[in-house]
Chains A and B, each alone.
Chain A
Amino acid sequence: MQKKILLVCMMMLLGLSLLIAGCGGEGTSDQDAGAPAQKSDNVLVWGRGGDSVGLDPAIVTDGESAKVTINIFDTLVEYEPDSTAVRPALATDWSVSEDGTVWTFKLREGVKFHDGTDFNADAVVYNFERWMHKDHPLNNGECKYWAYMFNGYDEDSMVTSVEATGDYEVKITLKEPFAPFIQNLAMFSFGIASPAALEKYGEDFFKNPVGTGPFKFVEWIPDDKVVLEKNEEYWGEKAKVDKLVFRSIPDNSARFLELQAGTIDIMDGVNPDDVAAAKANENLEVVLRPSMNVGYLAMHMEKEPFDNVLVRRAINHAINKEAIIEAFFTGLAKPAKNPMPPSLWGYNDDIEPYEYDPAKAKALLAEAGYPNGFKTTLWAMPVPRPYMPQPQKIAEAIQADLAAVGIEAEIVSYEWGTYLEKAENGEHDMILLGWTGDNGDPDNFLYVLLDKDNAVVGSSANYAFYKSDEVHDLLIAAQKEMDQDKRAQLYKEAQEIIHRDAPWVPLDHSTPPLFMYKYVKGYVPHPTGVEKLNTVSVQ
């Protein structure tokens, strides 16, 4: 008997669902058939592949989290909408002492956190204390970007003290002059959180974020969506949409279908193959995000034959970057000639790239004493990265280019974690890797990836093991110089030397595309991959 009831219940549920399917249409989607030309509600829905890991900017390191938190939290200074130059945000003005170690910030008055508490110097000090001190109960070594950008916690930290010198004035003292300091503070990680909310939620702050930003947190359903609403009391330009929703739709094709169905307004993480279809759709627009990354091939300079600059230049001439970008990025990248992307200040555009010329490559190899080429290995990443979507296939293309000049390269790959570990130990000959910038400072590319300080076996980020004193001196001088124009000059010089020494084959700067409806106005993609969406409207 019970089974019968169960069966009847199930039948009824099924019947009901079929009924809805049959008479559907209304209620299931607020758009009419066909791609919508405009929206009926004032909500911006962003479709993306992954969910946020957490919503506490101090702790998270992934882009999907940053994309959300940047809209909830403000930083002391922020990036211009279309570049990585910094402008005032929660700090209205700042100055630095003669010796470059003491920074004084004037704070914006009358700003309130979303929980109604006041933003002031004490709040700023509280946040810094939390980031700096590993034993702070809300740090626990979890403020990874602080440690990464400021050399560590406590006594390791570049920042030695932070004090309130007035209700709306903060003085920050550094261990030594450190020019990228101000660029760092514009990163999403250093969003100022409400001290009252931090105390209240403690370990669970990451799911109850409270900041001063243009949007307030409403709810987060993991793996489904994050909902934010307009902050009516925002100090800056108030949001144009009432609600901002980030939906996780893991499959790229399904996400594109959602866009076409009109259930999302803008999406990132597109299949390169879908770009043509999106361009053909008259309601959609394809926008390219300016690149803040570099994909490269590094040659281990402490190993033969890569210790010979002629060999390294020969390899630079042997690889056809344009063909690789055309084939594997469907043209959505720019060929690289420098180790940093052109969206950064200090980029040296005067450098003449090594042109694709197999004959010249052969001649250089002969001059270097390898007329018949040599055997070597080429490491390729096992996973797609933003700067290199299909590393295995790109490696095969490079392999073929190298074979054409007599170099026999065997492709080697390991599981991602192992790959990085072995690379840091310098076990490779040639290796494919890349980098996505953090703070929009050239230091974040050149010093991290090519300074001799970072060419240490076991902890290298300088996978070419390139150890140039000339470059080192320039990069250190640039770290201590506070004038941005002078710094830019130093970085340009460093790029020239790097070009001459050719530790890498810089391959590409990828420009990831986004699809959005034409009714989405005011959206400017930022090189860092995250942006405040208060200027965006959907009407």
Chain B
Amino acid sequence: MFNYILKRLLMIIPVIIGVSILSFLLIHLVPGDPARMMLGERATPKQLEELRESLGLNDPLPVQYMRFANKALHGDLGRSVRSKLPVTEEIARKFPATLELTLFALTIAVIVGGLAGIISAVKPYSLFDNMSMGMALFGVSIPIFWLGLMLIWLLGVKFHILPPSGRISVGVELQSITNLYILDSILTGNWKALKDCLAHIIMPAVALATIPMAMIARVTRSSMLEVLGQDYIRTAWAKGLPGRLVIFRHAFKNAFLPVLTVIGLQFGYLLGGAVMTEEIFSWPGVGRWLFVAITARDFPVVQGGILMVALVFVTINLLVDILYTYVDPRIRFD
């Protein structure tokens, strides 16, 4: 096992190098000169030239890449060309926001989606099954911006139950330690902030959860159906075991593997930033940050941001693979 993990960790290196080259080339080869994007209508040739020079854009691409790679290895991802904020500092601020939202959304998705999938599989083609699978279809097809705006309108404006958007209300003080606001408010014992942050996270988390929830429900259902049809389950029923034990202990544990794969993939995917959700709910996370950077050709942010997202994705994949061995003891990596 240890050898396997080591091997996988080593494999991350070429992946990250590949991703860094790709993201570097992508942002430098697409049309649109960063210097010109920054200066807009007001650019004079002299200013353009000076800006290009100061951003190092006049050097050959390999030189620029090596400079970026060298700095990145020393933990310096440069500064945003727009805001001059250090990219690492920004990651430390944006990533926790996205992580917090993702954890919440996935929790909702796993519990609701998983339960719906299991019940549907136990009672296939029942009213509940049809309804929940119909809802799941609705969930994967619903446009998030529409759902988000409807939620804000209904819960935020019409009934004033939840704050419309943002992470924390204006005027609520919170000392940030990890930048995971909910964790920070627990750590500092700031219950007012905790309540406020939880109220803020519900709507974006629900909106973000719809697609993974629907996918988890469908995968759970089909995987459960397959397992429930097997002989050992019939034996378990025949032994007279209580239903809960058969379904959760015997069936679900074995049906969980594909579900875990979906959860892992969705987790990595959502951590890359959910642009739409973050945009609608003014959630200052990774997705919106990268999106703005790409449109502004803010290349240090794009390079650094994508590198971080790739690293997270690869790590989560590794974690999911390791989790496999716990879920299914037949899997051995050695």
What residues on B are CB-neighbors of A43 within 8 Å? Answer: 170-171
Contact A258 B198 (CB under 8 A): no
Given contacts A250-B288, A254-B280, contact A32 B160 (CB under 8 A): yes
B319 close to A (CB within 8 Å): no
Q: Which of A24, A50, A227, A433 contacts B161 (CB 8 A)?
A: A24
CB proximity to A under 8 Å, residues B1-56: 31-33, 36-37, 39-47, 50-51, 54
Contact B85 A207 (CB under 8 A): yes
Q: Which of A18, A144, A203 contacts B39 (CB 8 A)?
A: A144
Contact A21 B153 (CB under 8 A): no
CB proximity to A under 8 Å, residues B38-76: 39-47, 50-51, 54
- Bound form: Cα–Cα A400–B165 in Å: 42
- Bound form: Cα–Cα A14–B106 in Å: 11
Given contacts A33-B160, A416-B32, contact A13 B170 (CB under 8 A): no
Contact A222 B170 (CB under 8 A): no
- Bound form: Cα–Cα A534–B148 in Å: 35
Contact B83 A433 (CB under 8 A): no
B316 close to A (CB within 8 Å): no
- Bound form: Cα–Cα A144–B46 in Å: 11
Given contacts A24-B161, A420-B36, contact A148 B279 (CB under 8 A): no
B163 close to A (CB within 8 Å): yes
Q: Which of A14, A225, A253, A263 contacts B163 (CB 8 A)?
A: A263
Contact A223 B160 (CB under 8 A): no
What residues on A are CB-neighbors of B31 within 8 Å? Answer: 414-415, 417-418
What residues on B are CB-neighbors of A433 within 8 Å? Answer: 41
B-facing mask of A251-264, CB < 8 A → 1, else 0?
10110011011010
Given contacts A24-B199, A260-B157, contact A417 B33 (CB under 8 A): yes
B121 close to A (CB within 8 Å): no
- Bound form: Cα–Cα A415–B36 in Å: 11
Q: Which of B43, B50, B83, B198 contacts A53 (CB 8 A)?
A: B83
Residue of A nearest to B289 (CB): A223
Contact A417 B90 (CB under 8 A): no
- Bound form: Cα–Cα A481–B90 in Å: 49
What residues on A are CB-neighbors of B195 within 8 Å? Answer: 20, 27-28
- Bound form: Cα–Cα A277–B111 in Å: 40
Contact A257 B157 (CB under 8 A): yes
Q: Which of A11, A53, A152, A247 contacts B82 (CB 8 A)?
A: A53
CB proximity to A under 8 Å, residues B83-122: 83-85, 90, 93-94, 104, 107-108, 111
What residues on A are CB-neighbors of B292 within 8 Å? Answer: 50
What residues on A are CB-neighbors of B148 within 8 Å? Answer: 254
Given contacts A25-B161, A141-B51, A257-B153, contact A224 B284 (CB under 8 A): yes
What residues on B are CB-neighbors of A30 within 8 Å? Answer: 171
A519 close to B (CB within 8 Å): no
A323 close to B (CB within 8 Å): no
B218 close to A (CB within 8 Å): no
A461 close to B (CB within 8 Å): yes
Residue of A nearest to B47 (CB): A147
- Bound form: Cα–Cα A10–B93 in Å: 23
Contact A417 B160 (CB under 8 A): no
Contact A251 B85 (CB under 8 A): no
CB proximity to B under 8 Å, residues A405-453: 414-418, 420-421, 433-435
Minimum distance in angstroms from A213 CB to a CB of chain B: 21
Contact A251 B280 (CB under 8 A): yes
What residues on B are CB-neighbors of A14 within 8 Å? Answer: 104, 107-108, 111
Contact A45 B107 (CB under 8 A): no
Contact B171 A261 (CB under 8 A): no
Residue of B nearest to A454 (CB): B44
Contact A261 B83 (CB under 8 A): no
- Bound form: Cα–Cα A27–B194 in Å: 11
Residue of B nearest to A245 (CB): B170
Minimum distance in angstroms from B292 CB to a CB of chain A: 8
What residues on A are CB-neighbors of B39 within 8 Å? Answer: 61, 144
Minimum distance in angstroms from A204 CB to a CB of chain B: 9
A16 close to B (CB within 8 Å): yes
Minimum distance in angstroms from A383 CB to a CB of chain B: 9
Contact B45 A458 (CB under 8 A): yes
Q: Which of A45, A53, A251, A415 contacts B279 (CB 8 A)?
A: A251
A376 close to B (CB within 8 Å): no
A459 close to B (CB within 8 Å): yes
What residues on B are CB-neighbors of A223 within 8 Å? Answer: 94, 284, 288-289
Minimum distance in angstroms from A90 CB to a CB of chain B: 26
- Bound form: Cα–Cα A224–B172 in Å: 14
Contact B170 A263 (CB under 8 A): yes
Contact B41 A27 (CB under 8 A): no
Minimum distance in angstroms from B102 CB to a CB of chain A: 13
Given contacts A53-B82, A257-B157, A417-B37, contact A249 B165 (CB under 8 A): yes
Contact A224 B166 (CB under 8 A): yes
Q: Which of A147, A250, A459 contacts B282 (CB 8 A)?
A: A250
Contact A224 B164 (CB under 8 A): no
Contact A61 B84 (CB under 8 A): no
- Bound form: Cα–Cα A27–B196 in Å: 7
B-facing mask of A22-44, CB < 8 A → 1, else 0?
00110111111110000001010
Contact A148 B47 (CB under 8 A): yes
Contact B196 A28 (CB under 8 A): yes
Contact B162 A222 (CB under 8 A): no
Residue of A nearest to B80 (CB): A53
Minimum distance in angstroms from A22 CB to a CB of chain B: 9
Given A27-B195, A32-B160, A54-B84: 20 more A-B contacts, CB < 8 Å = A14-B108, A16-B198, A17-B205, A18-B202, A21-B202, A25-B161, A28-B160, A28-B169, A148-B42, A222-B90, A254-B149, A254-B282, A257-B156, A258-B164, A261-B156, A261-B157, A263-B164, A263-B166, A420-B40, A458-B45
8 pairs from A and B in contact (CB 8 Å cutoff): A24-B161, A222-B93, A248-B282, A249-B282, A250-B279, A251-B145, A254-B149, A415-B31
Closest 8 CB pairs of A and B: A223-B284, A417-B32, A417-B36, A459-B45, A249-B282, A28-B199, A24-B161, A415-B31
